[in-house]
Amino acid sequence: MDVTMIISLLQPAPETFELFDDIILLSEGQVVYQGPRENILEFFESVGFKCPKRKGVADFLQECPEFVDRFSSFHVGQNLFDELSIPYDKTNTHPAALVTDKYGISNLELFNACLAREWLLMKRNSFLYIFKTFQLTIMSIIAFTVFYRTEMKHGQLVDGGKFYGALFFSLLNVMFNGTAELALTIFRLPTFFKQRDALFYPAWAFALPSLAS
């Protein structure tokens, strides 16, 4: 496939272990071994630990994590440290290999991606939105009949209170109907904080589609 893949496994099966070309054995943040799979048993045998025939290699490696210093004197470790000591030639780097922008795509693409996600969430929660639309329609008809007047006086302070009452009733309805969406937004906040801190998108790219929906 012409690609390098790093896979983290805990005590893999012997058949899975044999599929790997190189092995990186870590213990408490330290590299115990990094090199070809064929040489890993040779390394542990050089420090006095031989894998029993009845035990799988992966299981055996889990029991031998205390040889970080010994690996630096092993020939595989010496070759690895020699390669890492040579500074990398940046002229051989592909222009697309390193990210130079804070976000990988433009602001418009970020907005469109978040907007598409909001639209997908709205379709998944379509029952809630259809129910709320039906509820608002019924409430608007009721409010229409309560405050309907062909000619409504507006010359006195008491008449102005009727207009304010109609506006307050409408605002109160919209506010309480938004509580259902508020609960969904709060449940999504942990995911938002995680993705924002990982520089998936800025806060405004999440907020604007949420307001639009």
Each residue's pLDDT tens digit, 153-190: 667 777 777 778 778 887 888 788 777 778 888 888 89
Whether residues 114 and 208 fall in one domain: yes
Count the domains in the chain: 2
**Does residue 31 lie within any of the structural domains?**
yes
| HEC letters along 104-134 | CCCHHHHHHHHHHHHHHHHHHCHHHHHHHHH
Contacts of 136 (CB under 8 A, 6+ apart): 173, 177
Torsion of CA 67, 72, 74, 77, to 10 degrees: 110
> Could you read off the pLDDT of 99-138 as tens digits, one per residue?
667 887 888 999 999 999 989 988 888 888 888 888 888 8
Please determine, for residue 150, whether its predicted confidence score (pLDDT) is greater than 60.
no
Q: What is the mean pLDDT of the chain?
A: 78
Specify whether 81 is located in the same domain as 149: no
Where is the domain boundary, 25, 54, 86?
Answer: 86
Residues 20, 111 within the same domain: no
> Does 122 lie in the same domain as 208?
yes
pLDDT > 70? residue 72: no
Mean pLDDT of 90-97: 69
Q: So what's the pLDDT on residue 193?
A: 92
Q: Is the pLDDT of residue 194 over 60?
A: yes
| Domain that includes residue 145, residue range | 107-212
157 compared with 192, residue with greater pLDDT: 192
Q: Which residue has better confidence, 62 or 169?
A: 169
Give the model's pLDDT for residue 112. 92
Q: Cα separation of 32 and 173, whole Å? A: 64
8 A C-beta contact, residue 61 and residue 52? no
Alpha helices, DSSP H only, in 14-156? 14-17, 40-46, 57-62, 68-73, 75-84, 107-124, 126-147
Q: Is residue 208 part of a domain?
A: yes
For residue 184, being part of any structural domain is answered with yes
What local confidence, expressed as pLDDT, does residue 31 receive? Answer: 79
Cross-strand partners of 34: 24
In a domain, 27, yes or no: yes
- Which is more confident, 193 or 9? 193
Same domain as 116, residue 82: no
Do 173 and 204 lie in one domain? The reply is yes
Task: Calculate what percentage of the chain has a pLDDT beyond 70.
Answer: 83
